[in-house]
Amino acid sequence: MTASKRFPPPQQGMIRAGPMAAIPDLLHEFGVAPAPLLKKCGLPEDIFLHPDSTMPFATLGRLLKACVRESGCAHFGLLVGQRASPSALGAVGFLMKNSPDVATALNEFVLNFDLHDRGATLFLKEAEGSCLLVYEIYQHGIEAAEQIVDGAMAVGLNLMRSLCGPDWLADEILFRRDTPEDVEPYRNFFQVPMQFNARLTALRFDSRWLARKIPLADPVLRQHFLQNVQEMIRHSPEDYRSKVYQAVLLLLGSQRCNLDGLADYFSLHPRTLNRRLKEAGTSFRELHNEARHATACQLLQQTRSSIANIAELLGYSNETSFNRAFSHWEGTPPAKWRRQMQATSG
């Protein structure tokens, strides 16, 4: 029986346990017993012994929040990500390591990311000689989301170094989240300029790295893992709505975040995209509003960006229009909602 049958790919809102496998050891190092925390979060004690097992994305957030509280380490998620190697990504990670070049590997990662994580989305954007490997959580209301993001960025850096060699450095690390109280652990690990309260979360690097040949890549192994990934795809539920929603998140804040821009992203005629969205039980307007709502909540909770800046990022003509929309979603204006969330988390 194959691994994909024993541990099917994540369902919507789920994530593989592999990249978080360091959590029990880290807790032990801080003098904290892992079993009680896992039990409180509804997770089996041995979940991290099975990297292809899955857990709800929201459960991971609750677990990391508890880890921060019990360990007293505010950058616990960063430490978890630092210890994750590309093999933690399972078959997709091994497929990447045996790709002919970095561009192929990253495209495979983006294409098959939902076989690993279905609570966030991944994009590769290239423009003017620079690349952005973008990671965004698309579920709002996730506890300790900043811990998940920190870990994901550390995994991304480890992955790029494994593909390009140990001399690889990003040009810049962008975090949508607020600036942590202690930035030193981030500086020590990433060793490049960082920007917090950014418009997105991403590793920025020179496009020339895309042509880099991957050392020790084996075409035979690549074919083996490609077949493995294809089998996983066959067992993965189709979710056209989710794929389009992730694309809307990518386009959000740009002038292309409209039906024509979305259709162009999928190389479809707008009428064809409209028909497919209708068949999936949704519409561009519904997905656009959902993406604006989720992103607004994330920005209000995780950053100190002004209401005016958030309104502009989300494509509203003015702050008043954004206030009206947000009040419709949450029943209260964004400034008041932000204060309530801060009081609750405090």
pLDDT tens digits, one per residue of 118-175: 888 888 888 889 999 999 887 778 899 999 999 999 999 999 999 999 889 999 999 9
**pLDDT for residue 5:** 42
Is 141 within 8 Å of 296 (Cβ atoms)?
no
Q: Residues of the chain with pLDDT > 90: what percent? A: 59
d(CA 230, CA 92): 10
Please state the length of the chain. Answer: 346
Buried-state track 233-252, b at ≥16 Cβ within 10 A, e below 16: eeebeeeebbebbbbbbbbb
Buried-state track 166-176, b at ≥16 Cβ within 10 A, e below 16: eebebebbbbb
**pLDDT for residue 6:** 58
pLDDT tens digits, one per residue of 297-313: 988 987 888 999 899 88
**pLDDT for residue 179:** 93
**Is 228 a residue whose pLDDT tops 60?**
yes
Mean pLDDT of the chain: 89
Domain ranges of the chain: 9-233, 240-345
**pLDDT for residue 237:** 64
More confident residue, 37 or 5: 37
Domains 9-233 and 240-345 share a fold: no
Sheet of 194-195, strand order: 120-127, 130-137, 202-206, 172-174, 194-195
**pLDDT for residue 204:** 97
Q: Give residue for tokens 């041995």.
A: 46
**pLDDT for residue 2:** 39
pLDDT tens digits, one per residue of 270-304: 898 898 899 888 999 999 999 999 889 988 987 88
pLDDT tens digits, one per residue of 22-72: 999 999 999 999 999 999 999 999 999 999 899 999 999 999 999 999 999
d(CA 334, CA 344): 15
Average pLDDT over residues 209-216: 93
Q: What class, spelled out in words, does domain 240-345 have in CATH?
A: mainly alpha
The most confident of the ranges 98-112, 180-194, 232-246, 331-345 is 180-194
The most confident of the ranges 182-186, 259-263, 278-282 is 182-186
Confidence of residue 116 (pLDDT cuts 50, 70, 90): confident
Q: What class, spelled out in words, does domain 9-233 have in CATH?
A: alpha beta
Candidates 21, 167, 165, 168; CA nearest to 83 is: 21
d(CA 114, CA 187): 30
Of the listed ranges 36-45, 70-79, 105-114, the least confidently predicted one is 105-114
Q: Residues of the chain with pLDDT > 70: what percent? A: 95
More confident residue, 247 or 28: 28
